[in-house]
Amino acid sequence: MAEILPIRAWRYAPRFLPKMEELIAPLFDVVSERQRDLLYQNPLNSIHLAVPSGIRPAQEAKARMEKWKKEQVLVQDSKPGIYVYYQYFRLPGEHHERCRKGFMAHIKAYDWDEKVILRHENTIVNAVNDRIDLLKATQIQASPTHGLYEDKLEQLEPYMDEAIAQPIYDLEDYQGVREVMAIIDDPSIISKFLKVLAGKNIILADGHHRLEGSIAYRNSKKPEAEGGIWKGFDYHLMYLTNTSGNHLKILPTHRLFYGLKISAEHLIQELQQWFLVKKFADPEELGAYAFHKPHTFGLVIGEESFMLQAREEKLVKINQNLPEIVRTLDLTVLHRILFAEILDIPVARQRSSDQIAYERNFARCIQEVRSGKASFAMITRELELDQVMQVCKSGELMPQKSTYFYPKALGGLLFASIKQEEFEFDYGSFFK
């Protein structure tokens, strides 16, 4: 099953510890353009390695990384460790604090057909290509993907709880999440982590594009695999959390549509063939709507808003070739009916369509529509963790951007090199 290894991480030098909150960055797929511009203003922010700018971004990231190493902005740990990572957070309107517990480690970049890491959604082609180019140039991973494992016995939590009592970082991120990190470098304890994960499948919660980039890079390097057991190009940086006893929250990702070629009235008429369509009084209130019923969506178009409830008798006519767990998902219904049937964008082409955008922020959805940039917004409801798990185990895929696990792991807390001379270590000692 899943082979993980501890990380000989590169981290910001100790002199930067008081400024760590200025050096961390959101993951590349959630950072807004305004946030990105602000982060770029700091020449030492980790975004320059995670989401580089410029005409040749990958090469500019490589040059910057080499400069940071030479000037000891980044320094490498002398020995590998498991990086315990706790995130303390509240959701809007909540008073109690949640804590998501996990750890960062290298994991082998298993190909999808090896069925060790199980994915649940499609990827967007251009985003994968960007990740491949960046990994080839820098051979470093600046932000982790997020994987889930099932361990009802919670065997690793006592070791993580003990380590987190002596953190190396304790800071607040851009969303007010308290981010705490600690290191476990005791070989006997690290061995326990490797042993527990060796019997597990991993559900990929977040980072499909980055992992797919690592898989492509690994496959391109296989002819060089002679000699040695552990090769850096085989591995990928992942944040691993237990599905048991953990605060795993999935938030909805809404859909924006651009360049509608039919009138709003015509769109509503087409929707009425598939949905019960009811006028909603105030678009601003859709963000707080409960969406209790399955296959229910909000539509914001022009100055108006509507509630859509799929006509169940119509659903039997579509998706008959899909397993029930996938066929009945809200987003499957949305993508198959609205985008494929009504707007004539085939499912396969939706992944690369420049007419469909994905936005987790409800207020920005309203703003895009009101400004006239977007033709309309579809407001969706959140998925349940059990749905994600069932889809992964079925071997089928959801539409792209189906899940938004909150909070996201941060970039910049550590950097994992897969460059062989920086990755090299006698990892065999951890398997005894």
Whether residues 203 and 258 fall in one domain: no
Q: pLDDT tens across 81-116, in order?
A: 999 999 999 877 778 888 999 999 999 999 988 989
Cα distance between the two ends of the chain: 17
**What is the reported pLDDT for 85?**
97
229 with 324, same domain? no
Q: Do 114 and 204 fall within a single domain? A: yes
Report if residue 412 sits inside a domain.
Answer: yes
Note whether residue 418 is domain-resident: yes
What pLDDT does 167 receive? 97
Using only C-alpha atoms, what is the Rg of the chain? 22
Total residues found in the chain within this entry: 432
Where on the phi/psi map is residue 167: left (φ > 0), alpha (ψ -120 to 50), or beta? Answer: beta
**Domain annotation covers residue 396:** no
Sign of torsion, CA 269 270 273 275?
Answer: negative
Q: Which residue has the tokens 């890491």?
A: 117
What whole-number distance in Å separates Cα of residue 308 and Cα of residue 295? 8
Q: Does residue 153 form part of some domain?
A: yes
What local confidence, expressed as pLDDT, does residue 94 receive? 77
Number of Cβ within a 10 Å radius of residue 58: 18
State how far the Cα of 276 lies from the Cα of 267, in Å rounded to an integer.
13
Residue 280 and residue 146 in one domain? no
Query: What's the domain count of the chain?
Result: 2
290 and 189 inside one domain: no
The domain of 77 spans: 4-250+406-431
> What distance in Å separates the CA atoms of residue 52 and residue 159, rounded to the nearest whole number?
36
In a domain, residue 401? The reply is no
In whole angstroms, give the CA distance from residue 305 to residue 279: 6
The whole-angstrom separation of Cα 143 and Cα 107 is: 14
Q: What is the DSSP string of 59-105?
A: HHHHHHHHHHHHTTSEEE-SS-BEEEEEEEE--TT--SPEEEEEEEE
Position 133, amino acid: D
- Determine the pLDDT at residue 29: 65
Q: Are 81 and 10 in contact (CB under 8 A)?
A: no
Please give the helix or strand (H or E) that residue 141 lies within, else none.
strand 140-141
Regions of the chain where pLDDT drops below 50: none
- Cα gap 406→24, rounded to integer Å: 17
**Inter-residue contact 180 to 275 (CB < 8 Å):** no
- Asked whether residue 138 is assigned to any structural domain, the reply reads yes
Phi, psi angle pair for 170, to nearest 5°: -150, 100
Distance CA 341, CA 264 (A): 16
Predicted TM-score of the model (pTM)? 0.85
